[in-house]
Amino acid sequence: MGKRIFRIKPELALQDSQLVGKEMNFVLHDRTVFFGVLKKVEGNVFKCQNMKGKNFQFAASEIYEIVYDKATSF
């Protein structure tokens, strides 16, 4: 059985508290991809941490879409 990959626009992700603590890919408008765990959302800013423990953040306007595997994320 294949993976269940889901894509969500950042505006919708801001409203979904179930995404906090999940591993996901953040695809920026220039198609750069960052992989990490969503730690929290403050206003329109996603605060994340990568697998090496480095923290980073993105404004919702910087993100094209968020991609995650529902089978392993939930």
The more confident residue out of 72 and 44 is: 44
CB-based contacts of 20: which residues, under 8 Å, 6+ apart?
Answer: 38, 39, 40, 41
Q: Could you give the CA distance from residue 9 to residue 4 in angstroms, rounded to a whole number?
A: 17
- pLDDT at position 74 is 41
- pLDDT at position 72 is 52
Lookup: tokens for 41: 């959302």
pLDDT grade, residue 63 (50/70/90)?
A: very high
Domains of the chain: 5-73 (2.30.30.100)
